[in-house]
Amino acid sequence: MNEDTFNMEVRKFLKVVGITSQREIELAVRKALEAGRIKGSATLAAKMVLTIPAIGLDHHVDGEIKIG
């Protein structure tokens, strides 16, 4: 395994995950606010799941996102 290549590929993947996830969260929050499903002072429970079946990885991260 080439450590440098592996490191760069993991970072590239995580950058895409971060950028696209932020965009999706922002769009969904705006839609929910417009539809009145949440209030501007809400704190949202969030969960991220990372799976890589080939290596048996199933990693969960739980957290909160405050929007107000």
Check residue 22 and give its pLDDT.
Answer: 98
Cβ-contact 39, 68 below 8 angstroms: yes
pLDDT tens sequence across 6-52: 999 999 999 999 999 999 999 999 999 999 999 999 999 999 999 99
Check residue 2 and give its pLDDT.
Answer: 97
Neighbours of 44 (CB within 10 A): 14
User: Strand, coil or helix: what is 36?
Assistant: coil
Cβ-contact 67, 44 below 8 angstroms: yes
Beta bridge partners of 49: 60
Which of these, 52, 51, 45, lies nearest to 60 by C-alpha position? 51
pTM > 0.85: yes
